[in-house]
Amino acid sequence: MSDNLSQLRQPAGSAGLADLTRELAGLIVEALNLEVAPADIGPDQPLYGEGLGLDSIDILEIALVVSKQYGVQLRADSEDNQRIFASLRQLAEYVNAHRTK
């Protein structure tokens, strides 16, 4: 049983990361009520500013949803937030590496 649990917590391969990226895009669109299809969010498109156009309040909302969905602890005062939320791909890689659910 512990082998099954450890397999669940291991980071996903590239196919799993692609699925997680699509899932996160859907969560972002739903959480923020964006008028864009999840598939239209490019994995390397910036989330802040000119890219998706999110602001700090939007990022906090995403952090809350990600925390609830995946058990990832994101802190508002973390120096890594700019890197973590730089793009959908960066967020997916961080969630994949730190998820507990």
Single pTM value for the model: 0.81
Residue 12 DSSP label: P
Structural domains in the chain, sorted by start: 2-98 (1.10.1200.10)
Long-range contacts of 53-61 (CB under 8 A, 24+ apart): 54/85, 58/32, 59/85, 61/31, 61/32
Taking the CA atoms of 53, 94, 73 and 69 in sequence, report the sign of the dihedral they define. Answer: positive
pLDDT tens, position by position, 4-54: 433 444 445 556 899 999 999 999 999 999 999 999 999 999 998 888 889
Distance between CA atoms of 76 and 3, rounded to whole angstroms?
34
- Run of H or E including 65: helix 56-70
Spatial contact of 101 and 66, defined as CB atoms under 8 Å apart:
no
